[in-house]
Amino acid sequence: MKKIWIIHNSMYGNSEKISKQLAEGLKDSYEVSVNSIKNVTPEDIAKDEPYGLIIAVRIVAFRSDIEIRKFISDLDKVITKPISKVAYFSTHALGWKKLFIRGIKKSLAKIGCVEEVCPEYLEVRMQGAEGPAREGADAKIERFVSLLKDFLK
């Protein structure tokens, strides 16, 4: 089975939970690993030569989390085999604004180790900074799993 990595930088557990839900949805077709960037290094991911990468992006101070952006650019420095498919999703507490994900889009455009970035993304709004997710999140996550299955083909 092709390998997919899902990475997050969850503080309150919400993006970790969604990462695990996505992993659960994909595990019948892919070998999926989920972890925090606090516990894995870019080298750990590079050595697996993953086919796909899914990135959880927390919104912090109106921007894509800079720690996960830094991890992505560090990954680009150590990777040997390009990653065929990359997708991302976002968790946030305020009303959604496209500018929230400008940063992660820029990071992905800048790096050379990615062949294709999923044109669509998932955004899940929290009930306040600590969550949990607002009602309707599970249905959105399920739809995103279906979309990912198509994208990853």
Taking residue 125's Cβ as centre, other Cβ atoms within 10 Å add up to 19
Burial of 40: CB neighbours in 10 Å, binned 0-12, 13-18, 19+: middle
Phi–psi pair at 126, nearest 5 degrees: -95, 160
CB 145 to ligand FMN: min, Å: 18
Nearest to 152 by CA among 115, 107, 122: 115
Query: 37 or 152: whose CB is closer to ligand FMN?
Result: 37
Query: 22 or 113: whose CB is closer to ligand FMN?
Result: 22
DSSP at 58? E
CB contact at 8 A, 59 and 65: yes
Please give the residue ranges that form the binding site for ligand FMN (CB under 6 A): 10-16, 58-62, 91-94, 126, 129, 131
CB 105 to ligand FMN: min, Å: 16
CB 100 to ligand FMN: min, Å: 7
Query: 10 or 21: whose CB is closer to ligand FMN?
Result: 10
CB 36 to ligand FMN: min, Å: 9
Query: 24 or 115: whose CB is closer to ligand FMN?
Result: 24
